[in-house]
Every structure is written in C-alpha cells, then in structure tokens.
Amino acid sequence: MTVAEQDNCALAHSLDMGGDGLRVVVKDCIDIKGTVSACGSAALMDRPAATRNASVVDALLGKGCKITGKANMHELAFGMTGVNATFGTPVNPRWPDRIPGGSSSGSAVAVAAGLCDFAVGTDTGGSVRQPAICCGVFGIKPTYGRISREGCHPADSTLDCVGVMARTAEMLTNGMEAIDPSFTRHVLTKAPRIARVKSEVEPSLGHKLVYSLMESLPEVGYVALPRMAEAFDAAMTLISWEAARAYGPLAEADAPLGADIRARLQAAAAIPDDARRAAEDTRAAFTQDVDALLEDYDILMTPALPMIPPTLIAAKDPATVLPLTAMLRPFNLSGHPALVLPVAVGPERLPAGLQLIGRKGEDAELCAAAEWMTKTLAIFQEMEA
C-alpha cells in the first residue's frame, strides 16, 4: 500500500490480481478468494477468509481487469457518512472537511483520488450514489437483480445492488460492461424524453443551480411522485429489518461494534412484522407509480441529494445526515436503475449532482443518457477535467 493510500484510508488492504486491463477497487463486503470480508467492522475481522470469489469479481477478472485493492466502508454497510473509527475514515479528496459518504466510502475516495479507473460498491439505500456525489464522481445502481450478489454481504437483501463508480460517464459505462456479461453499450440516436420529478424536499435545497441545469435540457417535462417520502421510510424499514436478521446476533453477542451500529441494530430488531408488511405494500404501490411515469418518459430526473454533504463535524449529529438519501433510497425500493452525475455549485464549488432513473432492464440506455448529458452541459465537462 502506498503512502497516499495509507493517508486517505480508502483501502482496507491492497491487492495485485488479474490482468493488465482497467484498474478496479472492490468494496470490502464483496468476497475475494483468500481475503477476509470484514465489512468495515472489528466484529468480522477474524472471520474465515473467502474460499471463492464473488460472482462480480470473477466477471471482472474474466474481462482482464486488475483488482488493486479492497475498499474501506461504513461499518456493516449500515450508515451514510462513511465515518469508520476502526479502519479509519476515507478522506474525501476534493472536500477533505466533508464526509466521504457511505456506505461505499472507500470506493468513492479511491475513484476520486485516481487510485483506480473505476470502483465496485454496493447500494442498498444510496450507498454507491451518495458517496459518489460526496466525492464528485459518477455512480450507478443497476436494476435490482441484474448483477449477481453471490459472494456479497449480507447474503440476503431485497434492495441491495452491486454498482459502479467512475470519474467519467464513459468509464462508468466501461465498468458496467466489466461487471455485467449481458450489458451491451447503447448509443442514443436522439435526445431522451426527460421528466423532472417534483419533490417535497426541493424548497430546502440550497444549490439552485441543480434546478437550472434540469430546466436547461431540451424537452424536460414535470411530473409528481407523491409517494416519495413514504417510499423513503418504507425502504428504511426494510433495510433495517433485513440488517437485523443478518447482523443482529453480533449486537446480542456483545461483539466489538461501533456504538451507533449497535444502537441501530438493536432498534431494527424491534421492527414489528406489520411494519414490514406495510413497507412491502408501499414498495408495490411506489413501483407502479414509477413504471407509469416511465411509459411516457425515457428518464426521470431528480437532484441527487437534498442538501450539500455535511462537514465531518456537522455529521456527528444524526439528524444532519438523515435526509441525505431522500432522493436515492426510494429507487432501491422500486428496483429501478438509477445513476448520479456530479456537479460543483456555488462560489465554493461544493458537491451536488443530478440523478437519472430509467426503466428496469434499460441500464445501458441510462448510461447512454448520462454520456449524452455530459456532452450537452458544459458543467459536467468541467467536473471531468
């Protein structure tokens, strides 16, 4: 591990495996044969090393990629800040006083710092897309179930997806080609039909430039998803319920967990079955809402975040970070592919971005729309420079 890698805490440990192709960093909740998937937790540091690669790792190696490390992460992938007291908090390369985002913090930092060509993370409620925006890079959560989660932790999830982060939209597409054997690059022949989604959180958004970007695109419609807030809450219920079943025994056994993670797991264990069933009902209704809008439009568009990512000091207050995934998490619930594009706003050039949501299975079309948008709007070219 280089001094730079040690200093920014992006990597849990370095590797040198595979071919001479694109350099890739893989999140530490994804199995690589011979390594321990500690998932950012002291409680799992002594678990046995993986005896086989995760499916996505085999896909990367099959494409000739060079895996250069396993990325640090928020403990147990159960948090949004990326702060990790055990393994160190990855340092946001562009805004070092601000959170790197979570849970795929090390993956985002590795990309932003140039330690790899693209990184692989997981996204249960925004855990690829949110740190991507926090660190000023692109990120995609594919259609739920499109990418195999075999060899990922926790083993069972109805929301989690293996995703990709990269510094450019083109490299993001390259990453999708590498992890998904069924992915075929798509080329747009005309501008996509885009609809901006109204949101209850919009009035609190300080960076108005995001909205002017939306409105500057050709033929942008304006639609509503009135169940967004309900979907956000329902997704959190399911994330917590599933986390309690995967990791609850660690809290009960007094394993060495961070205090915040222990408290969240204990609270999650108390979620009643009727709350879970209600969340599933919301999933069905919200999914229908999104599908209906995508019959008339190719792409739905939202701000990526409802706020500028907080500083590390401000993020110590849980209430500060709670809204961070308000625009992201609902689409884990619905299972639609979602991609974020970074922008820097205001005189201080602070992190913000747009989110694009596509039809299920049309991940390649979504990537093509992102590439088209970066060529259409000069501000994205500025971010990629």
Is the pLDDT at 133 greater than 60? The verdict is: yes
Query: What are the beta bridge partners of residue 339?
Result: 140, 356
Lowest mean pLDDT, pick from 41-45, 59-63, 207-211, 251-255? 207-211
Question: Which are the contacts of 299, defined by CB distance < 8 A and separation ≥ 6?
Answer: 192, 193, 194, 195, 356, 357, 358, 366, 369
Tokens 């992006």 label which residue? 10
Q: How many helices (H) and strands (E) does the chain have?
A: 13, 11
CB 247 within 8 Å of CB 298? no
- Residue 336 identity: H
pLDDT at position 208 over 70: no
Q: What is the pLDDT of residue 380?
A: 66
Query: Between vectors from CA 288 to CA 213 and to CA 237, what angle results, nearest 5°?
Result: 85
Q: What is the mean pLDDT of residues 245-262?
A: 93
pLDDT for position 201:
54
For residue 244, pLDDT over 80 is answered with yes
Name the burial class of residue 3, with classes exposed (0-12), middle (13-18) and buried (19+) by CB atoms within 10 angstroms of its CB.
exposed
Rounded CA gap, 91 and 4, in Å? Answer: 11
173, 341 contact by CB (below 8 A)? no
Structure tokens at 63: 């494409």
Tell me the domain boundaries of the chain: 3-233+262-384
- Please name which of 328, 231, 235, 241 lies closest in space to residue 288, comparing C-alpha atoms: 231
Measured distance CA(248)–CA(96) in Å, rounded: 33
Greater confidence (43 vs 380) lies with 43
Question: Does the pLDDT value for residue 1 go beyond 50?
Answer: no
Calculate what percentage of the chain has a pLDDT beyond 90.
82
Average pLDDT value for the chain? 93
Rounded CA-CA distance 69/63 in Å is 17
| Contact between 72 and 85 (Cβ < 8 Å) | no
Phi, psi dihedral angles at 166 (to 5 degrees): -155, 165
Selecting among 37, 41, 55, 103, the annotated active-site residue is: 103
pLDDT at 4: 47
Task: State how far the Cα of 137 lies from the Cα of 342, in Å rounded to an integer.
Answer: 6
Q: What pTM does this model have?
A: 0.95
What value does the mean pLDDT take over residues 104-114?
98
- Mean pLDDT in residue range 151-168: 98
CB 85 within 8 A of CB 258: yes
3-state secondary structure of 109: helix
Identify the pLDDT of residue 375. Answer: 87
How far, in Å, are 5, 102, 139 from residue 57 at the CA level? 21, 21, 18
- The distance from CA 228 to its chain's CA centroid, rounded to whole angstroms, is 18
Of 14 and 381, the structure prediction assigns the larger pLDDT to 14
Say whether 27 is catalytic: yes
Classified by CATH at the fold level, domain 3-233+262-384 comes out as Amidase signature (AS) enzymes (3.90.1300)
84 alpha-carbon distance from chain centroid: 17
> Is it the case that residue 385 has pLDDT exceeding 80?
no
Write the pLDDT tens digit of every residue in 38-59: 999 999 999 999 999 999 999 9
DSSP 275-343: HHHHHHHHHHHHHHHHHHHTTT-SEEEEES-SSPPPBTTGGGSHHHHGGGGTTTTHHHHH---EEEEEE
152 forms beta bridges with: 30
Query: Which of 27, 70, 141, 360 is labelled catalytic?
Result: 27
> Which of 41, 55, 127, 199 is flagged as catalytic?
127
- Report strand pairing: 299-303 vs 220-224: unpaired
Active site residue 41: no
